[in-house]
Each structure stands twice: as C-alpha cells, then as structure tokens.
C-alpha cells in the first residue's frame, strides 16, 4: 500500500518530510532509518526535559512521535480494510513516558490469514527498531469475550483509539464495551475499588515507603488513573475535562489533580531517563539524582534528597486525600443512590447518615469553626462511626483556612484537642484523618512542618509525621492485655501512668523539631512546653512532657552504649529520672519510639537491655539516691554467691580462688554469680592450655535473647580480630563483647553475645553450634599469621548511605579506660577491620558495646594502651580516629 503523510502539524522532535524522503530511498534497508529517527527524538525530548519544558508537552509529543513511527511502519505491509492498529492503556490516552511499554491492540473484524501474516511482520519490525511494545492480536469477538471477564482488559479498552487502519473496528469495540453491554458503572466501580485496596495493601497502605513506587503506591499515578477511569465510566465521558459542570470535583480539586499529576509525571520521566529502563521505584540512588535534576541543594539542616522527597511525600499525600474524597463521592453516587438513608442526630451541628458522620448543613464550620475539631472528638468517643461522608470531607477541606492563631489560642479549641487525646477509641485513626484532611498540620503548625519530612537513612524507615503517629499508636496498644507478652514491663508501666494523655503529648512532640538543624530534642522540648501551657496543663505536667521530649533518646542510649552492670551508671541514670513516675513515662515512650522507628530494632536482646536498665533503676530509686551501691560490696556479694554455687557442685575452694586470683575486679562487677560459676567450672574442668570454646543460649535474664559464646585462650593481640572475622563469616552479629585479660597467667577470657542474620538467637542446632566452635578453633590456631579481613558485598541499599564515618574519644574515670565511639554504615567485616587497626596502634580492647541501628552502627570500644592505661597522647588519639575513618570509608567506596 502507498504510504500517506501523517500529522499535518509539525513535530519538533521528528522531521516527517525528511523521514519520508529517506524511506523512499532506503531500498529496503529501513530498520536503521527507524532506529535513527527514534534515537534522535529521544535525545531531543530528553534535552528539552533537562531544560525544563512543560512535562505534558513532552509526554504527549512522545506519544505522537510513536503514533507517527507506527503509521509509517504499518504502511510497509499490506492490510485488508477490516483491520486496525489501536493504542490502549496509557498510550491510548496519548501519554507516553521514556521507557514505558507501548500497548498495542491489532484488532480484526474477523480472522484473516493475510492480516495475521502482516501483523507478525509488523511486530518483528517494531522489535527490531527497538520499541518496547505490549501487544495482542485479536478479533473483535475475542476482544469482547476477554473484556467481559477481565476488568484490566476492559479498563485498557476504555481509552482505546485508532492509530492507523480502518476506524470501523475501534468504533465497534467502543460501542460493544459500553456500560449497557458489559461492566455497568456499579460493577466497574466495585472492581476498581477492590483492585485499589489490594494494590494499597501491597504497599502497606502508606504513601511513605522509603523507596516508593511512583506509579502504584498510595497517592501515585495509578490512584489518579483510578479516579479517571471510574468517573469516565459513570459519567460516560472520554476525558476528565469533560466532567466540568457535573459536580464531581471542584475547581480547586481539579487543579490539585492536574498539578499533582504533572509533578509525578516529571518524577517518572526523570526516573525512566536515569534508570534507562521502565523503573517505577524511587530507589535511593535515583532519589539523589532526581534531587539534583530538580535543582535541590544541600542546606545546613536538610540534604537535597531530603528536600526533594519531602515535596514528593506531600504531593502524594494530597493526592491520596483527593482520591479518598472522590472515590467516596462516587461510592455514594454509584453504589448507594437507591437506598433510603438512616439519619441519626448527634447535635445541632452533626448527624449520622448510615453510620457516617456529616454536618447538618453546609455552613456549620463557617458558623462554628470549633466544629473542625469537634467532629474528630465525636468520632473518637463513638467506635460505631464508620467515617466521614465525602461532602463533609469537602467542607473540612474548604474551611480549614479558618484555623489561624486566634483559633489555636481559643480555650474552647484547646480543650477540644485535649479531649481528643483522652478519647478511649481510635485516637490514632482520628489523628490520621486530621493529618490527611490537613487539619492537624494547621492546628499544630510545627506538626505541619514535619509532614513528609524524611531522613535519608535506613534506620528511620518512615517520614517524621508517619513515625510520630506510629509512636502514639504503639503507646495506645501498650495499654491492651495483648501487648503484655511481648512488652511486659511497658504494659505494667502504662497501667501505672496517672495521665496517659501526657505520654501521647510527648509522643506527638518528641521529633517535632526534626529537620530544623540543631538538637531536635532540646528544640522540641521548648515547643512541647509551650503546647502544654497553651492547652491549660499545670506547670508540673508541662515540665514532665517537656522533659520526656528532651530525654526521649536517653534510655535507649544508656541501655545500648553504657555498661549497665556498673552501679555508678545505674545511679547516674536514676538521678536523671528522679522518681518512678518519670521512669515509667520514659520507658513507655522509649519502647513505643524504638518500635515505631524500625520494627526490626526491637530484638529480644535490646528488650533485655532495656528491662535490665529499668529494673536496676527502679531498685536504685526504691533504695534511695542517697544510698548508692558500693562497688566493693557488690563485688564481694557476687563472689560469695558464685563461690557457694561452685562449692555446692563439689569444686575445691583452693582451685576456685587460684583461678579468681588472675581475674580483674571488673569481671566480678559485670558478671552475675551464675555466669561466673558456669565459666569457672568450665575452666577448671577443662584443665588444659588448649583453647576453651563454649556456645550456649544465655541463661542470664540480663542477656536473654542472644546466644553466648565463651572463649578462654592465650592472650594474643589478634584474638578479637580473629573472633570478629569468624563470627562475621558465619553471619553472626556481635551485640556485646566482654574482654577480660587475666592479670597473670597470659590468658584472655572473652564473652560474646551474638544474634543470627535475622536478629534472633541461634536456634537449638547442635551441628551449627559445633560448627561455630570448629571455625573459631581453626581461626585462633592461626591467629599469629592472621588472614585478611573478610570481604563480602555491601548491600545495594547500604551503598546509597555511604555517610562518612564519625568517631569521638574520651577517657572514662569510672572504668579507667578510653571510650572510643564509632558511627558508620554497617557492613561485613567492620569489627574485624577495627580490630586490625587496634593492632596497628598497639591498642588493647577491654570491652565493647555493639549497637546496630538499621544499617548504621554506633559502637563503643573501651580501650587502653599496651600498658593497660587510658590513652593520654592527643596525637595518638587523633591518628587512631583518622585511620578508622579512612579505612572504613575506603572499604565502602571500594565496594561501590
């Protein structure tokens, strides 16, 4: 067939006249021509994107260029007048992103061998020239049959259009797929709503995934498309613009839909361009690149990538809110238009319509602005209310600008907010609704500032606002008996709190100052104090809430980074608490915070440390801060208790005392009597100079939740490096390391508490435990000719967070050691590498507190010089820190 000109108007990225001339002279060698035309168009479109051209022009023009290419490709073959090439899906709407599939339907009125042969040749040509096509070849009858059964196919056909060929098949298809013939509006809506619910569930029903899916996650492009599909089906229109005047959405809502779509289109275009493939996930590496593409720069308080993602999350949150409103509106219009509503009055402002709350008239919020808060208090006190009617959600959104400083300071409104925090039912559900409808962010502007605020790390897996509401949710759940088994101490604390609402206030404000720069705990404490005074709390209550915000990281830090078997540490922490009430509030806040930051952080090991700190602190408070435990008395008591256990098992007192004479008093301060008795009996029974290695589930309640590895070996410089390397190779992570070098005799007695790769103790697996012992024995046997540091690949996600290693160093009078803190991305072999650096500087390790927070470590090493003294040379300290930073950062760079 003769080729015919396509678009009359010019396409800036495709010179049709030149292409036709070249095609006429190609002498059959057409593939390079098509390829060159596509490549030239892509380069020009990408350049225009980089220069900031309107995204809609680029997306539509790309589709038009492909239309044009397909047109010329079609006319390379012979066709009957009963076949057409049809665009479906997004391409059917005339939209096409750089790497998106080109969805095509080759539609025949009936089977025709010649058309089928031409179709096969056409598809081969399209693949050869490099087009990513999704295709189907069907008769009209086949198409109708499949569409009738498959909602996805029916949806794709909703926006079909003819590219080239006969118009007749497409017109017939559009007619036969109308609501009166298949998928009437109510069935179509129910199916699309169920489809969306399943899709949202896949993404944990949150807009705030760390690496969100631009297309499919809540608030993404698919949500916009779902609104469009359902509305078009119900109202019988082809485009959203045709919905004007049908009271489906307001001008403001339509503008929000358009601007949100344009932003996500720009993100998706950039994502495809950077990834070089149809990537829909905003992976960490791409987030950084897109932040640059969008012109963001690092500031003193926020990274460029955090600023970019902040905007992204706020956009998808607003789109999720709009999706909620419009689909609820259609739900009523499409599914519930025939039934007789049951109206139940609440007060003069609100009523229930079929258990959904609504205003009694459209001027309620204008006449009584306090009703903007009252509606959520009513829902918080009535668990039978299913939600808010869409028209009332619209009224909330239209009148939320009434929330100004006068509104925030009105005693009636402050009391309503306090009443909300005292609600017995679904407090967090109401707070989430308030956030979604942008009531909470307006009433508490400081909360509004953290909506969508992310932290670019793998430790905080939620944005600050999502994390904050999750903290409050965890606090609420700690009240219920179901939480008693997993959080026994926190459950008891919650039962004792005199005013739980004070805890919720602290939860709302504990991270409120994130992203401002400076110490967010101190800045947030000021905000919390002002909030409390504004809301009519007594001064001592305001001080408690402010104190909780300022100290919200303290308990976690002390339990994980300090030696909580040291009575001086406990006494100092108890002095910070002052009384049992402060301790109970802080414990509940800390447990809720850790579990809301990243659920994987709450291991049985971390729980045991927290419980030990809480229990010992309670004991200290009960005893009285004026009566601290004497270290020597504690050592004597522990030794006597261990001695009695050993004597009862038949061990000779002389043998016990001879062994203990080699041990430093720190050993008896940090270990309990049962642990000392077990280790001592094992050493006496071993009665050999050979290495003694024992692996068991810890029996100490202080250290439950980890597996204990006990090693007695000759004291050599490489022991810690050898053990760390071996355990790392076995995918075991060290949580705590206790290193005791004997004062005489040349041995080291070390205890390591480890977890497996799933942060769990080693299961009761005798073979694996024996394997651990054998591996350690082999490594220790060659420790004098020590092997290189183990090297495994750094995980992809970790590479995106190659933050520089930070160190700090100070001397600790209590332990007579130097404290070295190392904060760095976690990676295989880290402890072994640090141990080798200690060797290089002749540093002795006496203790280590290993803290892994997501993919970041914050490790504390208690070290001395080769004479067992704290480090006193400033140059040595500086050189040690520089070497650690250099080698750890270099290791990550090499892994990239």
| 364 Cβ neighbours under 8 A, 6+ residues apart | 349, 350, 371, 395
Question: Is there a domain that residue 305 lies in?
Answer: yes
pLDDT tens digits along 271-312: 999 999 999 999 988 999 999 999 999 888 788 998 999 999
Q: Do the Cβ atoms of 354 and 346 come closer than 8 Å?
A: no
Which phi and psi angles does 168 have, rounded to 5°?
-60, -45
Numbers of helices and strands, H then E, in the chain? 39, 17
What's the confidence (pLDDT) of residue 679?
93
Question: Is 144 in the same domain as 220?
Answer: no
Examine the pLDDT at 894 and tell me if it is beyond 70: no
Q: What is the DSSP string of 322-382?
A: HHHHHHHHHIIIIISSSSPP-EEE-SSSEEEETTEEEESSTTHHHH-TTHHHHHHHHHHT-
Place 62 in a pLDDT band, splitting at 50, 70 and 90. Answer: very high
Which phi and psi angles does 438 have, rounded to 5°?
60, 35
Question: Is 545 in the same domain as 565?
Answer: yes
Q: Residue 277 has what DSSP assignment?
A: S
Higher pLDDT: 456 or 669? It is: 669
pLDDT tens digits along 507-543: 999 999 998 888 999 999 999 999 999 999 999 999 9
Q: Do the Cβ atoms of 157 and 88 come closer than 8 Å?
A: yes
Q: How many Cβ atoms sit within 10 Å of the Cβ of residue 869? A: 13
Q: Do the Cβ atoms of 695 and 769 come closer than 8 Å?
A: yes
How many structural domains comprise the chain?
3
Last residue of a domain, one of 128, 160, 183: 183
Q: What is the DSSP string of 788-841?
A: PPP--PPPHHHHTT-PPPEEEEEEETTTTEEEEEEEEE--TTHHHHHHHHHHHT
Structure tokens at 852: 């892994």
Give the containing element (helix H, strand E) for 682.
helix 673-686
Residue closest to 751 by CA, chosen among 862, 643, 838, 675:
675
Examine the pLDDT at 396 and tell me if it is beyond 90: yes
CA distances from 315 to 318, 394, 439, 512 (A): 5, 18, 16, 20
Last residue of a domain, one of 289, 320, 335: 335
Q: Do the Cβ atoms of 287 and 310 come closer than 8 Å?
A: no
Torsion-angle region of residue 583: left (phi > 0), alpha (psi -120 to 50) or beta? Answer: alpha
pTM of the complete model: 0.83
CA distances from 853 to 215, 511, 602, 841, 856 (A): 30, 17, 10, 28, 5
Helix, strand, coil fractions of the chain, as percent rounded to 5: 55, 10, 30
What's the confidence (pLDDT) of residue 703?
60
* 46-60, 325-339, 598-612, 686-700: range with highest mean pLDDT: 46-60
Question: Is there a domain that residue 822 lies in?
Answer: no
Question: Is there a domain that residue 145 lies in?
Answer: yes
Question: Is 157 in the same domain as 23?
Answer: yes
Alpha helix stretches (DSSP H) within 111-150: 113-128, 140-149
Question: Is 156 in the same domain as 245?
Answer: no
- Using CA atoms, how far apart are residues 880 and 105, in angstroms rounded to an integer? 67
Examine the pLDDT at 365 and tell me if it is beyond 80: yes
pLDDT tens digits along 71-103: 999 999 999 999 999 999 999 999 999 999 999
Question: Is there a domain that residue 552 lies in?
Answer: yes
Question: Is 175 in the same domain as 197?
Answer: no
Q: How many Cβ atoms sit within 10 Å of the Cβ of residue 792? A: 12
pLDDT tens digits along 657-708: 999 988 888 889 888 899 999 999 999 999 888 899 999 887 666 666 789 9
Question: Is 120 in the same domain as 206?
Answer: no
| 58 Cβ neighbours under 8 A, 6+ residues apart | 45, 48, 49, 269
Structure tokens at 562: 């300090």
What's the confidence (pLDDT) of residue 823?
87
Last residue of a domain, one of 605, 621, 637: 621
Question: Is 72 in the same domain as 220?
Answer: no
Residue closest to 677 by CA, chosen among 709, 650, 695:
650
Question: Is 526 in the same domain as 616?
Answer: yes
What's the confidence (pLDDT) of residue 163?
96
What's the confidence (pLDDT) of residue 199?
93
What's the confidence (pLDDT) of residue 666?
82
What's the confidence (pLDDT) of residue 8?
46
- Percent of the chain beyond pLDDT 90? 60
Higher pLDDT: 746 or 452? It is: 452
What's the confidence (pLDDT) of residue 441?
96
Question: Is 471 in the same domain as 531?
Answer: yes
Question: Is 29 in the same domain as 172?
Answer: yes
Examine the pLDDT at 641 and tell me if it is beyond 70: yes
| 47 Cβ neighbours under 8 A, 6+ residues apart | none
Question: Is there a domain that residue 219 lies in?
Answer: yes
What's the confidence (pLDDT) of residue 22?
86
Average pLDDT, the chain: 88
Residue closest to 432 by CA, chosen among 466, 395, 383, 392:
466
Structure tokens at 819: 């404290």
Q: What is the DSSP string of 581-618?
A: HHHHHHHHHHHHHHHHH-GGG--HHHHHHHHHHHHHHH
Q: What is the CATH number of the domain that holds 563?
A: 1.10.3210
Question: Is there a domain that residue 543 lies in?
Answer: yes
Structure tokens at 654: 């002389």
Give the containing element (helix H, strand E) for 747.
strand 747-755
Strands 856-864 and 844-849: antiparallel
pLDDT tens digits along 194-249: 999 999 988 878 877 778 999 999 999 999 999 999 988 888 887 778 877 777 88
Question: Is 588 in the same domain as 489?
Answer: yes
What's the confidence (pLDDT) of residue 454?
82
What's the confidence (pLDDT) of residue 844?
84
- Using CA atoms, how far apart are residues 103 and 101, in angstroms rounded to an integer? 6
Question: Is there a domain that residue 115 lies in?
Answer: yes
pLDDT tens digits along 161-189: 999 999 999 999 999 999 999 999 889 99
User: Which residues partner with 711 through β-bridges?
Assistant: 693, 750
pLDDT tens digits along 4-29: 334 444 677 788 888 888 888 888 78
Question: Is 484 in the same domain as 570?
Answer: yes
Question: Is there a domain that residue 679 lies in?
Answer: no
- Per the listing, tokens 């076995």 go with 730
What's the confidence (pLDDT) of residue 137?
95
Q: What is the CATH number of the domain that holds 231?
A: 1.20.120.330
Higher pLDDT: 489 or 203? It is: 489
Residue closest to 508 by CA, chosen among 535, 536, 527, 533:
527
Place 2 in a pLDDT band, splitting at 50, 70 and 90. Answer: very low
**Which residue segment(s) compose the domain that 461 sits in?**
444-621
- Using CA atoms, how far apart are residues 835 and 848, in angstroms rounded to an integer? 11
Q: Do the Cβ atoms of 398 and 359 come closer than 8 Å?
A: no
Q: What is the CATH number of the domain that holds 95?
A: 3.30.460.10
Q: Residue 207 has what DSSP assignment?
A: S
- Using CA atoms, how far apart are residues 71 and 76, in angstroms rounded to an integer? 9
């Amino acid at each position: 067939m003769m080729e015919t000109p396509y678009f009359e108007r010019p396409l800036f990225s495709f010179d049709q006249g030149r292409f036709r001339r070249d095609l006429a002279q190609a002498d059959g060698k057409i593939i390079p021509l098509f390829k060159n035309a596509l490549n030239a168009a892509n380069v020009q479109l990408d350049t225009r994107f980089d220069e900031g051209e309107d995204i809609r022009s680029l997306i539509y023009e790309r589709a038009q260029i492909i239309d044009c290419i397909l047109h010329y490709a079609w006319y390379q073959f012979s066709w009957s007048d009963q076949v057409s090439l049809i665009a479906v899906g997004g391409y059917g709407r005339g939209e096409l992103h750089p790497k998106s599939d080109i969805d095509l339907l080759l539609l025949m009125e009936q089977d025709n061998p010649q058309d089928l042969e031409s179709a096969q040749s056409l598809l081969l040509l399209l693949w050869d020239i490099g087009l990513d096509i999704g295709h189907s070849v069907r008769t009209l009858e086949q198409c109708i049959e499949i569409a009738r059964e498959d909602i996805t196919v029916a949806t794709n056909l909703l926006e079909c259009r003819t590219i080239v060929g006969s118009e007749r098949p497409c017109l017939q298809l559009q007619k036969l797929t109308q609501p009166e013939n298949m998928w009437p509006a109510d069935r179509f809506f129910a199916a699309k709503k169920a489809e969306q619910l399943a899709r949202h569930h896949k993404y944990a029903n949150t807009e705030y995934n760390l690496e969100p899916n631009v297309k499919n996650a809540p608030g993404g492009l698919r949500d916009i498309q779902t609104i469009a599909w359902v509305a078009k089906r119900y109202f019988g229109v082809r485009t959203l613009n045709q919905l004007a005047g049908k009271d489906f959405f307001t001008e403001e809502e339509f503008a929000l839909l358009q601007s949100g779509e344009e932003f996500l289109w720009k993100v998706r275009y950039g994502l495809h361009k950077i990834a070089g493939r149809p990537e829909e996930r905003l992976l960490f590496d791409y987030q950084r690149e897109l932040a640059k593409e969008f012109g963001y720069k690092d500031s003193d308080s926020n990274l460029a990538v955090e600023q970019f993602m902040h905007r992204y999350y706020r956009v998808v949150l607003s789109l999720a809110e709009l999706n909620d409103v419009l689909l609820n509106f259609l739900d009523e219009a499409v599914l519930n238009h025939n039934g007789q509503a049951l109206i139940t009055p609440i007060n003069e402002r609100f009523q229930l319509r079929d258990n959904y709350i609504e205003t009694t008239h459209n001027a309620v919020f204008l006449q009584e602005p306090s009703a903007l808060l009252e509606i959520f208090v009513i829902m918080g006190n009535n668990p039978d209310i299913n939600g808010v009617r869409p028209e009332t959600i619209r009224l909330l959104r239209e009148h939320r600008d009434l929330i100004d400083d006068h509104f925030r300071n009105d005693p009636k409104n402050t009391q309503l907010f306090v009443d909300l925090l005292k609600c017995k039912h679904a407090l967090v559900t109401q707070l989430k609704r308030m956030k979604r409808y942008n009531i909470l962010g307006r009433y508490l502007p400081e909360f509004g500032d953290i909506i969508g605020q992310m932290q670019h790390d793998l430790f905080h897996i939620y944005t600050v606002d999502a994390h904050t509401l999750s903290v409050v949710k965890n606090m609420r759940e700690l009240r219920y008996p179901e939480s008693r088994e997993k959080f026994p101490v926190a459950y008891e604390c919650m039962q004792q709190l005199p005013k739980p609402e004070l805890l919720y206030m602290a939860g709302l404000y504990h991270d409120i100052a994130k992203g401002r720069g400076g110490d967010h705990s101190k800045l947030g404490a000021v905000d919390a104090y002002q909030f409390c005074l504004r809301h009519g709390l007594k001064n001592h209550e305001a001080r408690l809430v402010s104190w909780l915000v300022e100290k919200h990281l303290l308990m976690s830090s002390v339990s994980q980074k300090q030696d909580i078997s040291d009575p001086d540490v406990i006494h100092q922490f108890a002095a910070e608490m002052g009384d049992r009430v402060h301790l109970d509030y802080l414990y509940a806040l800390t447990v809720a915070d850790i579990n809301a930051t990243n659920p994987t952080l709450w291991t049985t090991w971390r729980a045991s440390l927290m419980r030990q700190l809480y229990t010992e602190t309670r004991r200290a408070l009960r005893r009285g801060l004026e009566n601290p435990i004497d270290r020597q008395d504690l050592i004597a008591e522990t030794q006597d208790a261990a001695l009695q256990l050993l004597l009862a098992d038949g061990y000779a007192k002389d043998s016990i005392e001879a062994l203990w004479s080699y041990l430093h008093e720190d050993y008896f301060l940090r270990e309990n009597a049962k642990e000392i008795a077990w280790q001592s009996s094992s050493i006496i029974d071993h009665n050999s100079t050979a290495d003694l290695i024992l692996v068991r589930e810890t029996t100490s309640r202080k250290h439950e939740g980890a597996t204990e590895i006990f090693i007695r070996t000759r004291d050599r410089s490489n022991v810690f490096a050898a053990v760390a390397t071996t355990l790392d190779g076995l995918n075991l992570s060290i949580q705590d390391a206790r290193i005791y070098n004997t004062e005489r005799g040349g041995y080291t007695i070390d205890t390591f508490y480890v977890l497996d790769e799933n942060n769990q103790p080693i299961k009761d697996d005798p073979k694996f435990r024996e394997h651990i012992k054998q591996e350690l024995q082999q490594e220790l046997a060659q420790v004098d000719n020590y092997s290189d540091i183990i090297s495994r690949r750094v995980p992809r996600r970790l590479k995106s967070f190659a933050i520089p290693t930070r160190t700090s160093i100070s001397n600790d009078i209590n332990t007579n050691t130097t404290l070295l803190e190392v904060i760095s991305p976690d990676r295989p072999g880290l402890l072994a590498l640090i141990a080798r650096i200690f060797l290089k500087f002749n540093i002795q390790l006496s203790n280590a507190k290993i803290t892994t927070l997501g993919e970041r470590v914050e490790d504390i090493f208690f070290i001395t010089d080769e004479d067992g003294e704290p480090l006193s040379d400033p140059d040595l300290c500086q050189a040690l820190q520089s070497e650690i930073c250099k080698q750890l950062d270099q290791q990550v760079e090499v892994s990239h």
